[in-house]
Amino acid sequence: MFFPLVKYGRRGGPHATRLHCNHCGTLQWQHKRGGLSEAVDLALVLQILDGRQTAVFRKYSSSPALDSCSFSIIFSDRTLDLETQNSSHRDWLMSALRTLTSYARKQREAEQRAISERGILPLEDQALSKQFRNGTFTGITSPPTSVMLV
Per-residue pLDDT tens for 83-116?
999 999 999 999 999 999 999 999 999 988 888 8
Q: Model confidence over 10-44: pLDDT tens digits?
A: 888 899 999 999 888 999 999 888 899 999 999 99
Q: Model confidence over 70-84: pLDDT tens digits?
A: 999 999 999 999 999
User: Distance between CA atoms of 9 and 81, rounded to whole angstroms?
Assistant: 7
- Give me the CATH topology for the region 5-108: PH-domain like (2.30.29)
Inter-residue contact 135 to 107 (CB < 8 Å): no
Q: How many CB atoms within 10 Å of residue 86?
A: 12
Domain ranges of the chain: 5-108
SS3 99: helix
Inter-residue contact 122 to 137 (CB < 8 Å): no
Counted residue by residue, the chain has a size of 150
